[in-house]
């Protein structure tokens, strides 16, 4: 069955710093037309940093859309021309002051595929060293360390609502379990 929709026209509605909103006209598989609103995003990375004692390093930061402080793994948008691995290393160092010698790619996460094309590249970082934290000037983060097993329990008990953190941590946890 052909399920592909084909763009036949459209316009950019908003050109922001992080997101770009488009209103596209598409042809549906049955030949009819529809409108699709799509937010375009340059891509992002997130990093599960785990030390030799099985501690995970997290950041707490205020998230304006939810008017709340959220516990997350280090993450951020990719800079122009930057590879996902370069972005992961940069975000980890900036937000936590951690430099990792080993990275394992955990895959891609489509955060909200119905209207957003953002892809988050997920990494597990190990063999950690610590340097000075260097957050962006508009970024205020607090670093927290917790045992990986305890944090997985927090995720499973519904205490961590952030999707990238849930997905990447559980993938990292299962990856580490299968390698031990």
- Catalytic positions are 137
Beta strands in 28-80 (DSSP E): 33-41, 44-50, 55-63, 68-72, 75-77
Lateral strand order in the sheet of 19-27: 6-15, 19-27, 33-41
SS3 32: coil
DSSP count for the chain of H helices, then E strands: 3, 10
């Amino acid at each position: 069955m052909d399920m592909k929709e084909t763009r036949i026209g459209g316009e950019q509605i908003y050109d922001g710093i992080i997101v770009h909103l488009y209103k596209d006209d598409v042809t549906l598989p049955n030949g009819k037309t529809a409108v699709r609103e799509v937010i375009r995003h340059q891509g992002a990375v997130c990093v599960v940093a785990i030390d030799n004692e099985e501690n995970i390093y997290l950041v707490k930061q205020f998230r304006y859309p939810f008017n709340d402080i959220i516990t997350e793994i280090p993450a951020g948008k990719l800079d122009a021309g930057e590879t996902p691995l370069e972005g992961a290393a940069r975000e980890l160092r900036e937000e936590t002051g951690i430099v990792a010698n080993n990275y394992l790619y955990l895959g891609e996460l489509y955060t909200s595929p119905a209207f957003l094309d953002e892809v988050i590249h997920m990494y597990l970082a190990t063999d950690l060293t610590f340097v000075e934290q260097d957050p962006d000037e508009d970024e205020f983060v607090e670093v927290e360390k917790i045992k990986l097993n305890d944090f997985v329990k927090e995720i499973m008990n519904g205490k961590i609502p952030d999707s990238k953190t849930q997905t990447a941590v559980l993938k990292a946890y299962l990856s580490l379990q299968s390698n031990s």
